[in-house]
Amino acid sequence: MAGKAIYAALMAVQSELKAPKGQENTFGKYRYRSAEDILEAVKPLLKANGLYLRISDTVELIGDRYYVKATVTAVDIATGEAESATAYAREQSEKKGMDAAQVTGATSSYARKYALNALFGIDDTKDADTDEYARSGQSGTNQGRSKTQAQPPAQKASKQDEMRAARQELSAEMKRIGATKEEVVSVCIKLFGKSSSANLSVAEMKKLTANLAAEIMAGAA
């Protein structure tokens, strides 16, 4: 079991880490962070707190599909204590414009990102389109709610655009990991108690997309 020293060091890294969303999805018009963005931000903090990072990948066959398992380990240089986090991402059987090695590389990067998120306490759901934000936005005064209801048509159209973009992101993620409609329905029921993604809010759609690969992997294990 890891001792107190590495937990203190990791806590210091987590409290200081600010990983910018340096990538942009031009199709869905949203910004996101990659594994490389996280690594660039965290390396100086690891050095300052006496830690080094070890990252490894393995390919595992679960059911009839291959998954990349990424393991990220922080090691205390002085004591040798270590703390790890793992994440899985499922390979697509094929992806347009990519050969097999490129598909595996992209899947590895995705798995590494979520392992890094787990180790360093990065919550990719804490954005303006999440359940948490939606709840806080709805907890204002009655006056605030009436203003929301009185939005002009342009703002209402913007909400429609957000939903369209969220559906496109979900569709792209399904293709990336090779998810079936039945698997998506199963995850919808588990996370939201709803039998169709058509009944989800924008926030729920985003959460579904972010957690789809991990939930399917957990169900297949």
Q: Quick one: which H or E segment has residue 12? A: helix 4-16
Helix (H, G, I), strand (E, B) or coil at 57: strand
Please give the domain boundaries of the chain with CATH numbers for all domains: 4-120 (3.30.390), 131-220 (no CATH)
For residue 105, what are its two tokens? 């590389």
Write out pLDDT tens, residues 76-134. Answer: 999 999 999 998 887 765 555 555 666 677 788 888 998 998 899 887 654 433 333 33
Partners of residue 32 on adjacent β-strands: 23
| Residues with Cβ within 8 Å of residue 192, at least 6 apart in sequence | 200, 204, 208
Write out pLDDT tens, residues 133-183. Answer: 334 343 333 333 333 333 444 444 467 777 888 888 888 888 878 888 888
